[in-house]
C-alpha cells in the first residue's frame, strides 16, 4: 500500500510524523509529498524539509493540520485560502481508497467539500467550525467513514496510523505495532460497523 502525507508550509509536525512513523515502520510505502513541484517547506515549528515528491497516485492520502485555529499566515487555513490543496484533494478523492486527516486537517477536507453528510472528528477546539460541514462531529479518537477517515488532535495521528494497519492487516498486527513503538492505543475508533447510524 502506498500512502502519501501532504505537507505544506506551517503544517504541524506531529500531525504528519505521528502517522508517518507508524505506517512506514509497518512497511507501507509512506512518503511526505507537496502539491506542485518538489520544494523546501518550513513546518509550524520551523523545521526546514526538502520534499522530493509531489502528490502522485497513492492508495491513501493523509492531510495534517497546523495553523488553523490561530489563522496563521502559513498552515492549513492559509492553504485553504490559496485553494491549490483543496482542488488537488477533490481531484484525488475518487482515485484513492481513502482520504484521511489529522487534527484540523479535517477542516481542509471539509473546505474541499469532501466531508459533507459524514461523521467526522478534529481537534476539539475546532468542533464548532467543523459542524456546519458534516453530518455530525464525534468525540472519538478516529472516525472511519470508509473512504474518509478523520483523527482528533495531534497525537491522534498515531492512532490513525494504527487504525489503518488494523483496517488493512488486522487488530492483532496493529496491537503488535503499538507495542513495538511503546504506545498505548487511546480512545475509541468510530466506524459504520460499530454504530447504529
User: Each residue of 103-134: b (16+ CB within 10 Å) or e?
Assistant: bbbbbbbbbbebbeebbbbbbeebbebbeebb
The pLDDT, as a whole number, for residue 187 is 81
Strand, coil or helix: 92: helix
The pLDDT, as a whole number, for residue 193 is 74
Q: pTM for the full model?
A: 0.96
Mean pLDDT split into 10-residue runs, the chain, 197 residues: 98 98 98 98 98 98 98 98 98 98 98 98 98 98 98 97 98 97 92 71
Contacts of 158 (CB under 8 A, 6+ apart): 18, 19, 21, 22, 181, 183
The pLDDT, as a whole number, for residue 33 is 98
Domains in the chain, please, with CATH?
2-194 (3.40.50.880)
The pLDDT, as a whole number, for residue 23 is 98
Which grid coordinates are listed for 86?
483543496
The pLDDT, as a whole number, for residue 117 is 97
The pLDDT, as a whole number, for residue 56 is 98
Amino acid at each position: 500500500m502506498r500512502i502519501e502525507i501532504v505537507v505544506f508550509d506551517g503544517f504541524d509536525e506531529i500531525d504528519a510524523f505521528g502517522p508517518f512513523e507508524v505506517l512506514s515502520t509497518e512497511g507501507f510505502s509512506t512518503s511526505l509529498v507537496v502539491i506542485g513541484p518538489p520544494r523546501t517547506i518550513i513546518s509550524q515549528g520551523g523545521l526546514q524539509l526538502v520534499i522530493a515528491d509531489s502528490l502522485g497516485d497513492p492508495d491513501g492520502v493523509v492531510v495534517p493540520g497546523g495553523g488553523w485555529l490561530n489563522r496563521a499566515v502559513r498552515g492549513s487555513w492559509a492553504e485553504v485560502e490559496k485553494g491549490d490543496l483543496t482542488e488537488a484533494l477533490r481531484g484525488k478523492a475518487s482515485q484513492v481508497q481513502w482520504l484521511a486527516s489529522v487534527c484540523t486537517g479535517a477542516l481542509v477536507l471539509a473546505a474541499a467539500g469532501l466531508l459533507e453528510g459524514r461523521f467526522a472528528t478534529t481537534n476539539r477546539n475546532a468542533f464548532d467550525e467543523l459542524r456546519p460541514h458534516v453530518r455530525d462531529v464525534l468525540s472519538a479518537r478516529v472516525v472511519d467513514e470508509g473512504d474518509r477517515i478523520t483523527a482528533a488532535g495531534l497525537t491522534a495521528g498515531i492512532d490513525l496510523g494504527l487504525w489503518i494497519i488494523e483496517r488493512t492487516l488486522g487488530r492483532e498486527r496493529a496491537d503488535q505495532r503499538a507495542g513495538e513503538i511503546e504506545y498505548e492505543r487511546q480512545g475509541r475508533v468510530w466506524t459504520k460497523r460499530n454504530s447504529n447510524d
